[in-house]
Amino acid sequence: MAMPLESPITFSNVGKIRWWQRGIFASQTGYVLLALAVLLVIMHFASPYFFTQGNMQNVAKNFSFIAIATLGVTFVIITGGIDLSVGSMMCFSAMIASMVMTELSAPGSPLVHMAADGKTVLANVPGLILLVSILAGLGVALIAGLVNGFCIAVLGLSPFVTTLGMLSIVRGLGYVVSNGRGSFPGGPDADYFYALTSGDVLGVPVPFIYLVVLALTMAVVLHHTSFGRHVFALGGNEKAAELTGIPVVRVKIEVYVICALAAGLQGIIISGWLGSAPANMATSYELNVIAAAVIGGANLAGGIGGPLGAIVGCVLLEVIRNGLVLAQVSSYWQQTLVGVIIILAVLVDRIRSRMI
């Protein structure tokens, strides 16, 4: 149905948006990144230990411990939703993974068949126990994510209430299955498990490598696939998304599943670093995760956010924490400062959008 152009389009009174008024330069992520760079320079002069290799590895590791979950929750926030169950989800997945690992490795366990050599069948294949237990941990996250998504997208419950409920349900289940004691990764594959969760590759902490890979994947998914486009459209105008034929229900369920899986993976990684999955692990981490996402520029009203922002938010939080320790300020100040930064970041964004 193409019609011939009578004359090429001219832009006589519509100015071109300048490069510094669009994209990252005009986003909260952009100037939080700038603030982070300034902060790094200040830290460099404030403490000679800050830019040492050991401290950098430490910082990279520490922010990776919340950043993967932050990537997940950013998906949900872009659609205009929220997921408060990430902290509990981290704990539950970690706990299930290490319990399954211990259970499958134990010779006396009723769940496993004994092979002729006195080991369990699964233990004769190196890495198989590890694989099964991690899949089990992610499996429970998948189920919780599906329940969240179903309640929100199909039943139409509010995301805040649904995931608040899920926070409590999953935490409670964690106490039920562990009897409140927590669990430890054990058995023949425990060494692989520690290597995969808290090891380094050429001095780079592995959680950081996972983070980078996942963040790049997320960037491609958000900006170069129709799923990503639908996620943004859902956050921008849900009614429009529906009218234009976007499968709104499916996209919503998918983002809650992604978020839960990211939290589950994050929990499993944290448990490798802690060497255990205590029942009170990652309590109230959802607040850190959401704070990091918001500081990095994700808009709780929906429609805006991305992996770079999520990471920048996490790094900023970690650098402040680390900096306060190096500067020998009481670490109790950290929480207060984080709160101030959340409000400042959003305030600056508001002022900037009024100026344009």
Least distance in angstroms from the C-beta of 248 to another protein: 10
- CA of residue 135 relative to chain centroid, distance: 18
Q: Can you tell me which of 130, 246, 269, 295 binds another protein, judged by CB under 8 A?
A: 246
Q: In this chain, which stretch among 112-120, 237-245, 281-289, 319-327 interacts with another protein, using CB under 8 A?
A: 237-245
Q: Measured from the CB atom, is 226 or 284 closer to another protein?
A: 226
Q: CA–CA separation, 111 vs 278, rounded Å?
A: 23
Helix (H) or strand (E) segment spanning residue 204: strand 204-205
Scan residues 39-98 and list those touching another protein (CB under 8 A): none
Q: Can you tell me which of 149, 235, 306, 323 binds another protein, judged by CB under 8 A?
A: 235
354 lines the binding site for another protein (CB under 8 A): no
Scan residues 16-45 and list those touching another protein (CB under 8 A): 16-17, 22
Beta-bridge mates of residue 355: none
Site string for another protein, 213-232 (x = CB under 8 A): -------x--xxxx--xx-x
Q: Can you tell me which of 141, 253, 277, 304 binds another protein, judged by CB under 8 A?
A: 304
241 lines the binding site for another protein (CB under 8 A): yes
What Å distances lie between residue 91 and 182, 192, 280, CA to CA? 9, 20, 7
Rg (CA), the chain: 23
340 lines the binding site for another protein (CB under 8 A): no
14 lines the binding site for another protein (CB under 8 A): yes
Q: Which residues fall within 8 angstroms of residue 244, CB to CB, at 6 or more apart?
A: 233
- CA of residue 29 relative to chain centroid, distance: 16
Block residue for tokens 């309590």: 283
CA angle 116, 119, 121 (to 5 degrees): 80
- Catalog residues that contact another protein under the rule CB under 8 A: 1-3, 5, 8-14, 16-17, 22, 220, 223-226, 229-230, 232-233, 235-237, 239-246, 303-304
